[in-house]
Structure 1
Amino acid sequence: MTTIGFVGLGIMGSPMASNLLRAGFDVVGFDLVASSLERLAAEGGTVATSVARATAEADVVITMLPNHPQVEAVAFGDGGVLESAKPGTLYVDMSSIRPQTSRRIAEEGTAKGVRVLDAPVSGGEQGAIDGVLSIMVGGPAEDFAAAAPVFDVLGKTVVHVGPHGAGQTVKAANQLVVGGTYALVAEAIVLLEASGLDAGVGLDVLAGGLAASRILDLKRESMVARRFAPGFRIDLHHKDMGIVLDAAREAEVALPVGGLVAQLIASARASGHGSLDHSALLKVAESLSGKGDAA
């Protein structure tokens, strides 16, 4: 598997494609943003002028797109992946979308002789740059094994979690925990500062105890400093929480804390913070207490 068609060269997709190039794969990429294609070409990749051209001769096709409407258009549309891919192609959708969309792609892919995996990721832009993403994969075990050389370049934790759609369900659970953790870290900062304490020092202590988390490790300093340059935008986490609640409805389970987290993220988006990093949930926590920008 030496030729990879890569559709979606955004914040996550572009560094992922770069890592694949450095690992020796031939990458043929397509994106609607000219600067993304220029970056791919500068790093030795091949620019395609359409999804079909990125897909037709690829051994593996990867899509990394914002949401299910874009994935459906690329997968099912005229000249799309399922129409253009040669039989036996391995199609790996690494977007974060609804599990039912992943299952539909797999069903139609099987009918066309295309092998399909859903493989959403966690780790944000820095994880994509460093090639240390967590990748949760749904689909047949033999196709997961076939994709291992690609996954090994892109991720550090790569796990086959179940059948088609399972990767998306695990990703939804991931976003549930991440969103909830950000919300609580934000409240901890508000509490510490309102009590006259140094929030940075307080979070240093928390990061060394039972409250430790990757979010505290990576984001406590930037949150205290109110630096919210996007690694993963509020807009995208808002989308993901919709997937969480949809999956809960399909599974017929109640997620009361998840529902509250979804509303907090929706509030951040409605307040104009959608383009900021999801750590900007701190702005919502401050607003609720009349602190920060709301003071």
Structure 2
Amino acid sequence: MSAPVRVGFVGLGNIGKPMALRLAAAPGIDLHVHDVASEPVAELVAAGATAPGSVAALAAAVDVVCVMVRDDEQVRAVAAEVPAETVLVIHSTVAPGTPAELAEGRRVLDAPVSGGPMGAADGSLAIMVGGAEDAFAAARPALDVMGAKVVHAGPVGAGTRMKLARNLIHFVAFTAVTEAQRLAEAAGLDLVALGDVVRHTDAITGGPGAIMYRETTAPIAPDDFWHGVFTHVTALGEKDLGLAIALADELGVDVPLAREALPRLGKGLGLR
């Protein structure tokens, strides 16, 4: 029987605590935790974790330190307490250059997550990892407990870049939703019912991710399979965007994202 993997977890907030609880319940994980708040630490201790009392003491007792704190400054403060040979796994979303900066003389993985508190609680997070193969292998047992989709995106920094690209979709889409809600409200529609329709159909089609299967954003050759698919998508999209903009003009609703999307859709898909 192999020895347990000694894992430290620093930062027991809304996402960090359920991630740590997953580790505490997992066989083969010897978990040590730290947070500035006493309540979540006590909850983790009750779940079977050890609380050494300081980041330095935690880092000295483990092989892998997972960090889910608020910002770059707090990540740097934790990193300063972690020995160079210990794998530091940064789950916080930080500036693109921070992981490489911290990797000077250290074994660092940047491993931001997507899926929120719900995904953290049920272990279904997507974890996007940047860093060396040996560090990734050392942290993999813990990552697999916390996430259902663990992607080694490339060298250190790649996980953060992937998270930022993913969240660009997320928050631009949120902004587009607010635009659509204004249009729907002006048209006298039930916004809750519209939300139900959006969630239902996105679950069927895959939402924005449905177009993300090509390995490049380069123009598509006419004989490429995707040329026909995206030609059809563009035709439908330009028609529907045009109709939505016309309705917005009729109702006096400002829809700047729709106006930007109309001339950019086909080109963005690689058609022209």
Q: 5 Å matches for 1:217-236? A: none
Counterpart residue type for residue 168 of structure 1: T
* Equivalent in the alignment of 2:101: 104
1:202 counterpart (186, 194, 204): 194
Aligned pairs, number: 205
Secondary structure (helix, strand or coil) at the match of 1:37 reads helix
Q: Which residue of 2 aligns with 1:138?
A: 130
Aligned counterpart in structure 2 of residue 72 of structure 1, from 70, 76, 87: 76
- Identity, in percent, stands at 44
Name the counterpart of 1:151. 143
Letter in 2 for 1:4: V
Equivalent residue, structure 1, for 2:10: 7
**Is residue 2–residue 59 contact of structure 1 (8 Å, CA) maintained in 2?**
yes
Q: When the two structures are superposed, what TM-score results if normalisation uses the length of structure 2? A: 0.70
The structure number with the bigger radius of gyration is 2
Contact 1:207–1:213 under 8 Å retained in 2: no
Provide the alpha-carbon RMSD of the alignment: 2.2
**1:183 corresponds to:** 175
Q: C-alpha distance in 2, partners of 1:145/1:55?
A: 19
Code of the residue aligned with 1:101 in structure 2: it is T
Q: 1:132·1:157 contact (CA, 8 Å) conserved in 2? A: yes
* Corresponding residue of 1:120: 112
CA distance in structure 2 between the aligned counterparts of 1:190 and 1:128, rounded to whole angstroms? 32
Contact 1:136 1:160 in 2 (8 A): yes
The normalised TM-score by structure 1 is 0.65
* 1:107 to partner: Cα distance: 1.3
Alpha-carbon separation, structure 2, partners of 1:18 and 1:88: 25
Asked if the contact 2:25/2:48 (under 8 Å) is kept, the reply is: no
Q: What is the DSSP-based 3-state SS (H/G/I as helix, E as strand, rest coil) of the residue aligned with 2:53?
A: coil
Cα distance between partner residues in 2 of 1:178 and 1:213: 13
5+ long unaligned stretches in structure 2: 209-252, 255-272
| Partner amino acid, structure 2, of 1:11 | N
Tell me, in whole angstroms, the C-alpha distance in 2 between the residues paired with 1:119 and 1:158: 9
Structure 1 segments unaligned to the other structure (5+ residues): 110-114, 216-287, 290-295
Corresponding position of 2:26: 23
1:94 partner letter: H
SS of 2:62's equivalent in the other structure is coil
Match of residue 41, structure 1, among 20, 45, 49: 45
